[in-house]
Amino acid sequence: MRLSICERNYASPILAGVAAPELQVEITRPGNAGYYLADYGWQMPNGSWMLAELHGLGKFEDDAQNDPEHTAAKTYRAALMRDANLRAMGHNVIHFKLSDTYDVKAFGSMMRGYGIPTTKPYADS
């Protein structure tokens, strides 16, 4: 079985002192128009979601995307629109890179700054 980068990186938030996220969170789109899929998610006390996307540049630099219908610019615009729609639905979306997780203390501080629930205090971070 091959694990996705999200599954392999699942421990990073936990090691950083934030609550374990749900993986591959589905958010139903209005009007039964399918769903949005987020890499990580934390359901907040008010019922909204704090969603996080782990990004590499693969989807923006894929050489197989020679078709003008699948250009990096189109992929980027679609991601911006998706984030705007999720925010309009009352959810928050953050983005981070794999390299952001290398310094666990800094990553934890960043995640807590976004309001991700914590599992242990890091008063000195």
Tell me the pLDDT tens digit for each residue of 35-46: 999 999 999 999
Tell me the pLDDT tens digit for each residue of 18-32: 888 999 999 999 887
Task: Report the number of distinct structural domains present in the chain.
Answer: 1
**Where in the sequence is the domain holding 41, given as residue range(s)?**
5-58+91-113
Stronger pLDDT, 4 or 22, i.e. the higher one:
22
Please, what is the Cα angle at 96 between 41 and 124, to 5 degrees? 90
Indicate the burial class of 94 (C-beta count within 10 angstroms; 0-12, 13-18, 19 or more).
middle
pTM comes to 0.78
| 102 in a structural domain | yes
| 95 in a structural domain | yes
Q: What percent of the chain has pLDDT over 70?
A: 75
Stronger pLDDT, 125 or 48, i.e. the higher one:
48
| 47 in a structural domain | yes
